[in-house]
Amino acid sequence: MPGRLLVACDDRPGIVAAVAGFLHREGANITDSSQHSTDPHGGRFFMRMEFVRDGLQEDAADLEARFGEQVGEPLGGDWRFAWPWQVKRVAILVSRYEHCAMELLWRWRRGELPCEMVGVVSNHPELREQVEPFGLPYEVVPTPPGGKPAAERRMLELLAGRCDLVVLARYMQILSGAFLDALAVPVINIHHSFLPAFPGAEPYRRARDRGVKLIGATAHYVTEELDDGPIIEQDVERVSHAEDVGALERIGADVERWVLARAVLWHLQDRVVVDGRRTVVF
């Protein structure tokens, strides 16, 4: 498993040479490299490198310090290393529709999602029986009318400091800005339309009413502005006049499953970098 280095800074000549030169001096072999510049003149520069070397784990802290001193500080941007032994801890929030949560758990069990699953939280008890065979705790945190502040406090007890990523796998409650701030880790949501079309509720019904010929799903980072966070991944499926709302929901469930699975995988692989309202996906 390789180490990863992510850099985001103002574009200028010499960044690749500085970073590649550093890794070479450290005896590392660059096995993958991607870069993106929003504009070579005055734009923003993003880079992701994977590299291998023996003995990384013992030396990682020192290597990070040396990088900061020799490259990071002079560049003046953001940078971080991601190490293979720092496995990300993931929590899933779900309501009553099970398909997205099951897809993630199933891929995790067969080794496709490189993470530690810490548990599932739901505002409903229904999915307990399907989740527990995966050997995970299933916590029910109901959100009765007026009960959202208490529910969010309870969820913070369960989640804050205990996970590095929260996935909303068809969790049908809106999370407050205060909750997101206190949680302080990225949150990925799956929205059941190809945003920005049909934001908000009942997208399949509205897609049916509008007579669209494609329905889709969108995985995005959650921000305080509902359905407006940076998009990580989208996909669509073809539909026709013959599909009623129920059929659109069934077809859409498949698109939701694989769009969310891809977005979570790419996040776990440190491939997704937020660039304002957009993402760079290396």
Residue 69 or 275 with smaller CB distance to its own copies: 275
Q: Find the shortest distance in angstroms from Cβ 49 to its own copies.
A: 8
Q: Find the shortest distance in angstroms from Cβ 233 to its own copies.
A: 6
46, 93, 158 from 174: Cα distances, Å:
32, 12, 18
Q: Find the shortest distance in angstroms from Cβ 10 to its own copies.
A: 12
Residue 144 or 240 with smaller CB distance to its own copies: 240
Triad 125, 117, 108: Cα angle to 5°: 100
Residues that bind its own copies (CB under 8 A): 11-18, 20-21, 23-25, 27-37, 40, 52, 98-99, 102, 106, 110, 112, 133, 194-198, 209-214, 216, 230-236, 240-242, 250, 254, 258, 275, 277-281
Residue 13 or 144 with smaller CB distance to its own copies: 13
Q: Find the shortest distance in angstroms from Cβ 53 to its own copies.
A: 8
Residue 126 or 157 with smaller CB distance to its own copies: 126
- Give the length of the chain: 282
Catalytic annotation present for 209: no
Q: b/e string for 76-89 if b means 16 or more Cβ within 10 A?
A: ebebebbeeeeebb
Sheet with 138-140: list strands edge to edge: 138-140, 115-122, 88-94, 165-168, 187-191, 214-221, 231-238
**What distance in Å separates the CA atoms of residue 43 and residue 37, rounded to the nearest whole number?**
6
Of the residues 62, 227, 235, 275, only one is catalytic, namely 227
Q: Find the shortest distance in angstroms from Cβ 139 to its own copies.
A: 20
DSSP state at residue 225: S
Please provide residue 174's backbone torsions phi and psi, each rounded to the nearest 5 degrees. -85, 130
Residue 158 tokens read as: 């369960």
Residue 166 or 215 with smaller CB distance to its own copies: 215
SS3 of 100, please? helix
Active site residues: 227
